[in-house]
Amino acid sequence: MIKKLKSKILKHWEITAAGILILAGVTILSGTYGPLIKDEIKYQFSNKGRNTVVVGKNQEAEKVAVEKAGLEVIQPVDESFGIVIPKISANAKVFAEVDPNDSAVYQRVLTKGVAQAKGSAYPGEKGNVFIFAHSGADISEALHYNAVFYLLGNLNPNDDIFLFRAGQRFHYVVKESKIVSPKDVQYLEKGDGSETVTLMTCWPAGTTFKRRIIIAERAS
């Protein structure tokens, strides 16, 4: 009788411990992946940049005209150097001249926005503007460092990217999206004299396995 009671109590504690572990696991996964899932769901139910116009804060006349036309106005969070991608609701400050090879520097920067690679072009200049966000070593760090560019994979040719520099708006159109090796550093080069922007983030999120690259050209 006592042996059977002990066995029953032990089984009860095993079930309780398993339940606690499962609950803890679900809680950790929800806390880790929750923001990413939330962003993806939000994207699926968004208008994906349709009926939106990106307008600088000093373009009041254009803003009024856009609103009168019944369209949504998006204004950049930073016009001194900023990026807006309407389709994926990305709107962030761009930090200039950040060394992509110095993790101690860029990881601090990427908690507050995205980074223009040191030595790459600026908007309005001939050449390639290279803007990047890195994932962390794991998915929880990636949420901290990489949220702005999580949805880059949803961009397709002809989607819009807007850069702002010193209050001026620059419009680019996506030409190509690809997954490349981290060793493919040619995307950092200034380019052939045309005006382009290259966006980069780690892929899959939370790894350093590959890089997702978005290449866009200045709209005429």
Task: Round to whole Å and give the CA distance between 13 and 157.
Answer: 57
Q: Are residues 85 and 41 in the same domain?
A: no
Q: What local confidence, expressed as pLDDT, does residue 178 receive?
A: 94
Domain assignment present for 66: no
User: Which domain does 30 fall in, by range?
Assistant: 1-45
CB atoms near residue 2 (< 10 Å): 6
Residues 126-167 have pLDDT tens digits of 999 999 986 555 555 555 555 678 889 999 999 999 999 999
Q: Are residues 108 and 202 in the same domain?
A: yes
pLDDT < 50 positions in the chain: 26-31
Q: What local confidence, expressed as pLDDT, does residue 106 receive?
A: 82
User: What is residue 156's DSSP assignment?
Assistant: -
Domain assignment present for 52: no
CATH number at residue 185: 2.40.260.10
> In this structure, what token pair is assigned to residue 172?
């680019």
Q: What local confidence, expressed as pLDDT, does residue 145 receive?
A: 54
Q: What local confidence, expressed as pLDDT, does residue 62 receive?
A: 86
Q: Is 92 exposed, middle or buried (0-12, 13-18, 19+ CB in 10 A)?
A: buried
Q: Are residues 106 and 181 in the same domain?
A: yes
Q: Are residues 93 and 187 in the same domain?
A: yes
Domain assignment present for 91: yes
> 128: closest CA among 69, 191, 184?
191
Domain assignment present for 146: yes
Q: What local confidence, expressed as pLDDT, does residue 218 receive?
A: 97
Q: Are residues 35 and 140 in the same domain?
A: no
Q: Are residues 83 and 41 in the same domain?
A: no
Q: Are residues 126 and 167 in the same domain?
A: yes
Q: Are residues 41 and 102 in the same domain?
A: no
Residues 6+ apart with CB under 8 A from 130: 100, 116, 117, 120, 121, 187, 188, 197, 198, 200
Q: Are residues 100 and 161 in the same domain?
A: yes
Q: Are residues 101 and 205 in the same domain?
A: yes
Q: What local confidence, expressed as pLDDT, does residue 114 receive?
A: 92
Q: What local confidence, expressed as pLDDT, does residue 120 receive?
A: 94
CB atoms near residue 215 (< 10 Å): 19
Task: Round to whole Å and give the CA distance between 24 and 106.
Answer: 33
Tell me the CB-side half-sphere exposure of residue 98, using CA atoms within 13 A: 23
Q: Which parts of 49-149 fold into alpha helices (H)?
A: 60-68, 103-109, 139-145
Pseudo-torsion of CA 183, 186, 188, 189, nearest 10°? 160
Provide the number of structural domains found in the chain.
Answer: 2
